[in-house]
Structure 1
Amino acid sequence: MKARVIVTLKNGVLDPQGKAIEGALGGLGFDGVDSVRQGKVFDVELGGADKDAARTELEAMCEKLLANTVIENYAIEIA
């Protein structure tokens, strides 16, 4: 089973890397960019076919390692 975990900074958390990307895009001539927030994507392949069990396991992975839940949110997509 394939899954994707998307980790993003919570609203209100400063994102200096996003600001740097925003500035670089402006410097490259992309004038319509008002804001950029960066994040992480993890593609995970799991054995088994139980989507509920997979979601529970992925949530545990996020809580323990993949996301810093103090400053980051995560979303899980299971294919």
Structure 2
Amino acid sequence: MEEKINNFKLQYSMFLSNCSDEISKLDLDIGKIVTFTVDVSSLKSMQTELLVKDESLSHELSETDRGVYSRKKKL
């Protein structure tokens, strides 16, 4: 998803660049005509939550693996 957002930002930058000559000839401010904002805070928050969950599950799995290994040794 981040890659798609970054590509979209790049397209917006290219749009501004492509319009710059026309806009300057008309003595206009493209920033007043077209606005663009990206807020990835919800995406970053979800990534953090998933990372924490992944680490927790990995820890649980390693604990389970150790328990299985010790039981196998007893057999």
Same fold (TM over 0.5): no
| Structure 1 or 2: more helix by fraction | 2
Higher relative contact order (CA 8 A, sep 6+): 1
TM bucket, shorter chain: under 0.3
Query: Larger radius of gyration, structure 1 or 2?
Result: 2
